[in-house]
Every structure is written in C-alpha cells, then in structure tokens.
Chain A
Amino acid sequence: MSDTATDRAVNRSQMMVSDEVAIQITNMNKWYGTFHVLRDINLTVYRGERIVICGPSGSGKSTLIRCINRLEEHQAGQIIVDGTELSSDLKNIDKIRSEVGMCFQHFNLFPHLTILENCTLAPIWVRKTPKKEAEETAMHFLEKVKIPEQANKYPGQLSGGQQQRVAIARSLCMKPRIMLFDEPTSALDPEMIKEVLDTMIELAEEGMTMLCVTHEMGFAQAVANRVIFMDQGQIVEQNEPREFFNNPQSDRTKLFLSQILGH
C-alpha cells in the first residue's frame, strides 16, 4: 500500500463519526440448536462508522450482521438498533428492517419485477410513498449507482455487478440510516468487483453507517474506520485499519492475515 493511500485511509477513518450510537450489542449469544455460533458479542457502532468484519468461514460474521435486522434470532443478550430493542415484537422488527438496508451475496433481486419495480416496491408498500414519488426516488438512486438506463429491464438481463448495484439502490430507496453488506462481492467476477466497491466507497464518503462482511482487504484499508476480526463466534480483535493490518496482536489474526494477504 502506498503512503498516499494510507494517508487517505487515515483521513477517512477520522471523518464523520459522531458520538451518537447507531447500534448497541451487549452480551449477545446465539445458538443453532446446541451449536454456539455467537458468543458474548459486545459491539457499539456509532453513526457514520464504516466497519469491516472479516474472519475465516464459519466464524459467525454473516450471522452477526444478520442478527442486526433479525434475519437471525439471538437467544441471549441485547441488540438495540436506532434506539429500538430487537425482541420478538413484530412491529419493532418491521420498523428496524425498514430503517436498516441490506445487501446480500447473491443480490436477491426479485426476478419477476423490473429494476424500477424492485426499487419502488418497499417504499410504496412499507412507507406508503405515492407511486410517482417512489419512482423519482428510485431513478435518483439508479443514477447514483450508474444504471438508470436499465430501469425497465428485468434482473435476469443484467450482469452480476449491475445486479448488485441495483440491490444497493433498492436498499437506498428506503432511505436507511444503516447499511449492512453480507459479502457483497463474493459472487462476482473479478472485473465486476470494482464497480460495486466504487459504489460502496461513494456511499461511505457520504457518511452512511455501514457494516460490511467482506474479504476485500483493499476496501477495508480504503474506507473502514474499524476492522473487526472474528473467529469461532467471537470478536477476537478490532482496531483501526492501519494498525490492524500492520500490527495485528493475536496469533489467530496474524495467521488469517498471512493466509489472505500471502498471495
């Protein structure tokens, strides 16, 4: 990594983080049956933070961010998102889900709807936005992810990178305060990864609170203000990116970094 890039990363890591708490996770535990997937997770995310979560497969990183919008249920501890506690109360869950955007590894666009309809569906049916207004918002965000000309196509007609950008636009149409990314580039061809990462970097620069599970260490160095390393369902190490990559503390982290940066 060049010096200027490092400086940029440091500058970025300081910017726009406020004292306001966006997500507060306290002593959270989760089991799949009797298998203890997440153990004593404590994490405070401030508004405007860009957090990258990495770790070996099966370490519970996807499960962690899927707990934040209750795609997975936690069995012990507390998760407070935007001041609302996640419990079995369905109203709270729907409220939090409409405030928290999520992008999936396999995009999960709705194949029976056009790009535009994908983007306007939730605003119209959840937010009760008038159709015309929802379409204007959708076009605004499709322009932002640079594919307004695809608005009337179906997802199956787009490339993987384009589909993921639509998925990001679809989440943004709900005007979320927090964005979750679950390995957004893992299913993409190498030449399409960049276009998605560029979109995400742009989003980060605008001050969106982001939690991102990814193996893109370049992205972590460029935009994250904090990198979290997980293993065996626990947070093993967290630090600001430069320290994390240059001076990892735990042996587990060192091994992981040597494996993914080694070639």
Chain B
Amino acid sequence: MAEAASHTTSYVRDKMLPQAEPPTLQKGAIKWMRDNLFSGWLNSILTIVSIYVIWAVVSDLFPWFANSIWRADSLTQCREIRNATVGADAPAACFAVIVDRWQQLLFGFYPREFYWRPILSLVVMLTALMPVLFPRLPRAALLWSVSAPFVIFFLLWGGSVWFPLAAALGFVIGAVAWRLVSAASGALLGVLAAIILPIIYWLYFAAPLADGLAGSVPLGLEAVPSKQFGGFMLSVVIGISGIVLSLPLGILLALGRQSPLFIINKLSVGFIEIIRGVPLIVWLFTASLLLNYFLPPGTNFDLMLRVIIMVTLFASAYIAEVVRGGLAALPKGQYEAADALGLDYWKSMRLIILPQALKIAIPGIVNTFIGLFKDTTLVVFIGLLDPIGLTNAIRASTDWNGIYWELFLFIALMFFVFCFSMGRYSLYLEKKLRREHR
C-alpha cells in the first residue's frame, strides 16, 4: 500500500519486478474448464446434462459397433455368430453385408470385369478437378479438365471412341466460331454463332461423322447401357455433372435476371421461379415419364441423361439466386468504375464483377452443390438404382432380408465424405480469397 500511495506523488522504482506465474486457478485446464464449462450455475447444469446425453448415446451405440461381425454369408449366419460369441441379447452390427456387397453399393450392376473403368474415371475426374480447384497449378492443365468429360463418358458408357470425339468437335466448332465471328462482327453475333453452329452440327453432322469413322476405323470399348449403372457411382456421375453444368448456367441466369433487356430479364425470372417453385421429384417424374410425349416419336433419350438435365436445371435456378445475392452485395461503384475504364459488359462481368460476386456467394453455392449431391438419391423413385435403391435390391435376396442400419450407415458415410470435403474446400477457398479485406 505504501508503494501504491507513493504513486500519487513523485516516485522512482528502484527494483524491477520479475515475471510471476498466474494463480493456479487462473491458468491451464482448470481455467479453461471454469471459463467454458462451469462459468455459472446454469452453464454447469447444462454441461452435466450434455455429458449425460452424450454418455447415454455412446454407451448405447458402442457395444453395437464393438460386437460388430465382419465375416458372414447371411444375416442368419450373423445372428448365429452373435449368439455364440456375445449372447442373443447383446447388440451387434452385421457389417458382413458391406463386405459381401460393397461392389454393388459402389457400382450397381455395372459388369464386374469392367470395374476398372469407373475407377479410372474417378482418377480422371479427380485429376481434372485439380487445376480448376487450385489456381496455382499451371493453366495449361485446364485443357485436360475440359477434355475430361468426354474421356469419362467414353470410359463409363464405352462404345465407339468416335462418338464422344464427334460430340467434342461440336464444342471446338463453337469456340472457333466465337473467335472468328466476334472478332469480325461483334460479341453478340459471336455468341449467337457459337450457339447455333454447334447445334446444327450436332443435329445433322455429328452422328453420320461418328458412324462413318466407326465403320472405317472401329475403335472402342464394350458398351455398357445406363440401366446397369447404379450405386454410389450413379450418384457421383449425376451429382458431378449437375454441379459442373449448373454453375455456368446459374451464373448466366443471374446475369439475365439483372439484365435491363426486357425479354432476357423476364425469361430468366420465369425460368428461375418455375423451376424453383416445383419439387425436384416432380421434375424427375417429368424427365422419366412426360418427356417422351414431347420428344419426336422414336427418339430414345437416355433416362440418365434426362435426369442429369433436370438436376442441372433445378440446381441452376438455385445457383442463380445465390449468385444474384452476390451481385447485389457489390457496391454500384464497382460497375461504374469498370464502365468508366471502357470495359464492355462481358469484360467487366468477367474481370471485375463476377470474381467479387462469386467470392461472396461461395458459401451459398457450395451449400447448393451439397444439396444437389444429396438430392441425387431421389432418382430411386424413377427406378434408377442409386445406393438407397440398391439397399432394397440387397434386402430382396434371402441372405440379407431384414438388414437396414448397416447399409444406411455405409451410404451415409460415403455421402458424408463427399459433402464434408466440399464444405472444407469452400472454407479453404474463402480463406484464400479473404486477403482483400475492405
């Protein structure tokens, strides 16, 4: 006290104080627990109740996992093993069904001798995604990303190698047309040419070209029809196609909805509202049943392709709204500054507006993607064998009749891995782009 009092008047410290430890109750684990678990009587009660709930759940589930049986040929055998080892009353998971049927859950009824094809496709897909996801990789690698869809299509469905090549040529025609026409007579005509010329090519020239080449140089893999696709592979094919296709479409719709051009604006608004206002399952039924009435008779349009188109359209309406939120969040000054520098509409969108708007929209976009990916399980209702559909198929065999939880747990785990990685990537991207703090 004497020292404290001396501060009020002239004072010189003659001895410096050494660094001291904080009191025992104010440091380390004890302090953490006091701050975070027992900071008051209400929080202490909540902590104890929570611990009890966690204990109740874990103690119930743990024996089920701990007693799990991994080797058996049928559910009956599983039960026999359980009765012999841990007793008839004890809970025991029968993961033997996964060991027995995992190929089916992953690949559906895809021919067993061709499993290397979806596996190779997965490798192709992952390597093709890398340059898109991580901008630090060399830009030339994007060429691989662009050609990957055709490679994957060829690997999965097989058939003549000329068919995907002829289809890809359409995109090359579009790109070349855009380059030449937009340089010669403006961006709008360029876009029109880039859309119309490939469509004409696909409608009238692609098939004869592919057939002709296949006739003279028959190269290819054995064809696998869509009917045999199934399991997690089906979810991934539909999900990833939907994701990859719906992002650009959604961005265009968002821009269309902002456009001052009356017809483009109203078409975008109408499309978004109609697609968004109807449940996905209705669109899937439309794809599987109604679409045949609208298509010219005799056209056999692959069901899976129809589903991919519907899922894409559905997701793009959501993406459009998420991106619109990003666009609306940008200050008007950004548009004006881009205009004032003489950038035309597409350049200012591409260089100034979209990079910023998409950054704001990342959480929403990824959220939509995760939703889309999980919604692919709805295709079970139109007769495609997604993982959920396959659980029914597996239960239909006498061996595994009556098994539920183990299968669903496995499916949940597979979906979780995918969705969790998407979520993590979104966090990584947000962190990387956060440098521009305003």
Interchain CB contact under 8 A, B340 and A94: no
Residue of B342, B356, B433 touching A97 (CB-CB under 8 A): B342
- Which of chain B's residues have a CB closer than 8 A to the CB of A122? 341-343
Q: Does B139 contact A (CB under 8 A)?
A: no
CB distance from A183 to the nearest CB of B (A): 13
Q: Does B351 contact A (CB under 8 A)?
A: yes
Q: Does B13 contact A (CB under 8 A)?
A: no
Q: Does A112 contact B (CB under 8 A)?
A: yes
For the complex, give the distance between the alpha carbons of A177 and B433 in Å: 36
For the complex, give the distance between the alpha carbons of A100 and B341 in Å: 8
Using a Cβ cutoff of 8 Å, how many contacts connect chains A and B? 72
Residue of B340, B347, B438 touching A69 (CB-CB under 8 A): B340
Interchain CB contact under 8 A, B436 and A112: yes
Known contacts A111-B436, A154-B436, A174-B341; A125/B336 CB under 8 A:
no
- Which of chain B's residues have a CB closer than 8 A to the CB of A95? 342
- Which of chain A's residues have a CB closer than 8 A to the CB of B342? 94-95, 97-98, 122, 126, 174
Q: Does B275 contact A (CB under 8 A)?
A: no
- Which of chain B's residues have a CB closer than 8 A to the CB of A69? 339-340
User: A3-11, A101-109, A228-236: which lies at the B interface?
Assistant: A101-109
- Which of chain B's residues have a CB closer than 8 A to the CB of A108? 331, 333-334, 336-337
CB distance from A73 to the nearest CB of B (A): 11
Interchain CB contact under 8 A, A121 and B351: yes
For the complex, give the distance between the alpha carbons of A71 and B435 in Å: 30
Known contacts A111-B356, A154-B436; A126/B343 CB under 8 A:
yes
Residue tally, chain A, CB below 8 Å to B: 28
Interchain CB contact under 8 A, A102 and B352: no
Q: Does A90 contact B (CB under 8 A)?
A: yes
Known contacts A111-B438, A154-B435; A104/B333 CB under 8 A:
yes
Chain A, 78-137, CB within 8 A of any chain B CB = 90, 94-95, 97-98, 100-102, 104, 106, 108-112, 121-122, 125-126
For the complex, give the distance between the alpha carbons of A98 and B351 in Å: 16
Instruction: Closest A residue to B337 by CB, please name it.
Output: A108
Interchain CB contact under 8 A, A71 and B356: no
Chain B, 286-337, CB within 8 A of any chain A CB = 331, 333-334, 336-337
| Max chain B Cβ within 10 angstroms of own Cβ: one of A69, A98, A110, A171 | A110
Q: Does B359 contact A (CB under 8 A)?
A: yes
For the complex, give the distance between the alpha carbons of A111 and B433 in Å: 11
- Which of chain B's residues have a CB closer than 8 A to the CB of A102? 337, 340
CB distance from B151 to the nearest CB of A (A): 33
Q: Does A155 contact B (CB under 8 A)?
A: yes
Interface string of A145-174 (1 = CB under 8 A from B): 000000000111100000000000011001
Residue of A90, A106, A155, A171 touching B333 (CB-CB under 8 A): A106
Instruction: Closest B residue to A109 by CB, please name it.
Output: B337
CB distance from A93 to the nearest CB of B (A): 9
For the complex, give the distance between the alpha carbons of A71 and B340 in Å: 7
- Which of chain A's residues have a CB closer than 8 A to the CB of B436? 111-112, 154-156
Interchain CB contact under 8 A, B359 and A71: no
Interchain CB contact under 8 A, A71 and B438: no
Q: Does B7 contact A (CB under 8 A)?
A: no
Instruction: Closest B residue to A126 by CB, please name it.
Output: B342
Known contacts A112-B359, A125-B351; A97/B341 CB under 8 A:
yes
Known contacts A71-B336, A125-B347, A154-B436; A112/B356 CB under 8 A:
yes
Q: Could you name 14 residue pairs across A and B whose Cβ atoms are closer than 8 Å? A: A69-B339, A71-B336, A94-B342, A97-B339, A100-B340, A110-B352, A110-B356, A112-B359, A121-B352, A126-B342, A155-B438, A156-B436, A156-B437, A174-B341
Q: Which 3 A-B pairs have the closest CB atoms?
A: A98-B342, A108-B337, A108-B333
Q: Given A108-B331, A112-B436, list of 18 further CB < 8 A pairs?
A: A97-B342, A102-B340, A104-B333, A108-B333, A108-B336, A108-B337, A110-B352, A112-B359, A121-B341, A121-B343, A122-B341, A125-B343, A154-B435, A155-B436, A156-B437, A156-B438, A157-B437, A174-B341
